[in-house]
Amino acid sequence: MARVKDIVVDCRHPASLARFWEAALDGYQVAPYDEAELERLRSNGIDDPEDDPNVLVEAGPGIRPRFFFSLVPESKVAKNRMHLDLTADDTDAEVRRLVGLGARVLVEHDDWVTMADPEGNEFCVMR
């Protein structure tokens, strides 16, 4: 039986979108860049983690799913075929917080709010 290991998000700037989702999701953080990871980047001609084409956002050890933000050359042009549904104790406060982080409200429904992250990827905050 299959299990979700990672969720991969195609994007134009992995580092900044990873920071948005790090701030949006409780308990998640951008994976630290230790010396081995920095050396791996340098061996691929990347001197600054800000230019990393694949940025990992994870929770504690063994907690899944992890999120990878991967560089792609094209922009998002259509509605997502899959999205995240988030929950919060206070939906209105959470929507305001996410807007403050760079998200935008697309549509407010009775039971959820459809939003977009800074690169336009849709997600919902459930009431």
Give the domain-ending residue among 73, 102, 117: 73
Write out pLDDT tens, residues 2-50: 888 999 999 999 999 999 999 999 999 999 999 999 999 999 999 999 9
Residues in the chain: 127
Write out pLDDT tens, residues 99-126: 999 999 999 999 999 999 999 999 999 9
Structural domain total, the chain: 2
Looking at the fold, whether 6 and 64 belong to one and the same domain comes out as yes
Looking at the fold, whether 92 and 116 belong to one and the same domain comes out as yes
Cross-strand partners of 123: 84, 115
The domain of 108 spans: 82-127
pLDDT band for position 81 (50/70/90)? confident
Residue with tokens 């560089």: 71
Give the domain-ending residue among 38, 53, 73: 73
Query: Do the beta carbons of residue 102 and residue 118 sit within 8 Å?
Result: yes
Query: Do the beta carbons of residue 14 and residue 46 sit within 8 Å?
Result: no
Looking at the fold, whether 102 and 69 belong to one and the same domain comes out as no
